[in-house]
Amino acid sequence: MIERYTLPEMGALWGDEAKFRSWLEVEIEAARAMAKHKLIPAKAVKVIEKKADFDIDRINEIEAEVDHDVIAFLTSVSEFVGEEAKYLHFGMTSSDMLDTALALTLKRASAIIDKKLVTAIKQIRSLALKHKKTLCMGRTHGVLAEPTTAGLKFAVWYTELSRRRAMFKRATEGISVGMISGAVGNFANLDPMIETEVCRRLKLRPAEVSTQVIQRDRHAEYLTSLALVATSMEKFATEIRNLQRTEIGEMAEGFTKGQKGSSAMPHKKNPITAERITGIARLLRGYSLAAMENVPLWHERDIAHSSVERVILPDATTVLDYGLQKFIGLLSGLVVDRKRMLENIYYKGGVVFSQRLLLKLTGPVGSRDQAYRMVQHHAMAAVAGRGLFQENVSSDPDIGKYLSKREIDECFDLAYYMRHVDAVFKRVFGK
């Protein structure tokens, strides 16, 4: 991932030093387990534990000759260890080490991501409780529908991102598996207990069964969970973008002192963070598709997945980590304009109260269709600029035959739209 979208903690996790350190971690644990099961001498493991290290420049130099990154790594480690290095990687194949180390890295990347997910969920919860009864317009098809509350909008976000986190944690469990099973996964040269011991010490689960690789449906599920986290964030960001439109003006990104919105137009405040989150989601959906393409490999293994994963796994975790940080910043600086929300509710004299009036009128009129036409006539007139809806309805003698002025005014009472908000919040938040 480019430096612009790489935060230090996640970036370090995917750097060469961390990669080779995780490889060495697996190799040392494998040697310990083999010694415990008397496959290699215990005294050799003592030497390996004491001397094992690597030199990145040397690894690169060797790989340029042998064209095999694992052999280059093991050769470099052997130069540090000496004669006992012959017991490193004993009976193992490259993917035993690579896939187990990858599981360690993904698990650690997930811990970084999950912390930010928890923060974002807490922020949304706070916004929901703060704006529990902040009245605003609900819209369907992009058109004014009926009043709702901003708190209910945020409650929807809270439950959705909580679901995404639950899926992400399940997917993290799915990729937190290791294997030390040999060239085609049949344990021909290794006791399965060695795999069990290594995974236990690394806090991974042993794969129930493997080929030469851990099966890539796990990684596809993981990448899909990342993509869905980003897609939900995009959904929330898109709502903010729409509500920031000049014609609506109900929410907006924070605008810092000295910030400039446009190189040409000084009046501009653009939703650039929300738009960036949208772009990040597009990237992650692409990565999830690439991960699915990696699932069908030939027989017990090919390396068609390898080059793909060298890009998509570091990039996906890194860009989601960045996107979550931006999303957290967006939420913490979010501007909610209550005054503009009320103004929009009373657009054209409150045409959005038409359903309430329809329900009130249907019984006395005796025909829902007739009542609908009476209300629609005034709503469309108001939208077209011929008077204000509430005034037109109140002065209509035909409606006056069925409803008193007090009954008409009741239809424009905003408290009606908050009658059951407490019940919904109790269901979602427990209060």
Q: Alpha-carbon distance 29 to 65, whole Å?
A: 28
Q: Check whether residue 218 and residue 115 sit in a common domain.
A: yes
pLDDT in tens, 24-75: 999 999 999 999 999 999 999 999 999 999 999 999 999 999 999 999 999 9
Mark 209-230 as b/e (b = at least 16 C-beta within 10 Å). Answer: ebbbbbbbebbbbbbbbbbbbb
Residue 266, pLDDT score: 76
Contact in structure between 120 and 311 (CB atoms under 8 Å): no
Q: Alpha-carbon distance 75 to 88, whole Å?
A: 10
364-373: long-range contacts, CB 8 A cutoff, minimum separation 24: 364/402, 364/403, 365/402
Q: Check whether residue 127 and residue 260 sit in a common domain.
A: yes
pLDDT in tens, 222-245: 999 999 999 999 999 999 999 999
pLDDT in tens, 94-141: 999 999 999 999 999 999 999 999 999 999 999 999 999 999 999 999
Enumerate residue ranges in the chain where pLDDT < 70: 262
CA atoms within 13 A on the CB side of 188: 8
Q: Check whether residue 401 and residue 277 sit in a common domain.
A: no
- Cα 300–306–310 angle (5° rounding)? 155
Quick check: helix, strand or coil at residue 282?
A: helix
Handedness of CA 148, 150, 153, 154 (dihedral sign): negative
Q: Alpha-carbon distance 168 to 113, whole Å?
A: 10
Residue 185, pLDDT score: 92
Quick check: helix, strand or coil at residue 331?
A: helix
Q: Check whether residue 281 and residue 391 sit in a common domain.
A: no
Q: Check whether residue 32 and residue 157 sit in a common domain.
A: no
The pTM is what? 0.93
Q: Check whether residue 311 and residue 421 sit in a common domain.
A: no
Contact in structure between 416 and 146 (CB atoms under 8 Å): no
List the CATH number of the domain containing 243.
1.20.200.10
Any bridge partners for residue 335, and if so which? 252
Q: Which residues are catalytically annotated?
A: 141, 262
Encoding tokens for residue 374? 């009476």
Q: Check whether residue 326 and residue 354 sit in a common domain.
A: no
Q: Alpha-carbon distance 208 to 205, whole Å?
A: 9
Domain that holds residue 66: 1-90
- Helix ranges, 245-388 (H): 272-293, 304-332, 338-345, 354-365, 368-383
List the CATH number of the domain containing 14.
1.10.275.10
Question: How far is residue 214 from each of residues 105, 177, 182, 183, 210, measured CA to CA in Å?
Answer: 15, 8, 12, 12, 6
Enter the DSSP assignment of 261: S
Q: Check whether residue 163 and residue 69 sit in a common domain.
A: no
Domain-ending residue, one of 38, 59, 90: 90
Residue 2, pLDDT score: 87
- Cα 176–99–298 angle (5° rounding)? 115
Number of neighbours of residue 26 by Cβ within 10 angstroms: 26
Q: Whose CA is closest to 202, among 169, 180, 183?
A: 180
List the CATH number of the domain containing 371.
1.10.40.30
Q: Check whether residue 371 and residue 266 sit in a common domain.
A: no
Residue 308, pLDDT score: 93
Q: Check whether residue 112 and residue 194 sit in a common domain.
A: yes
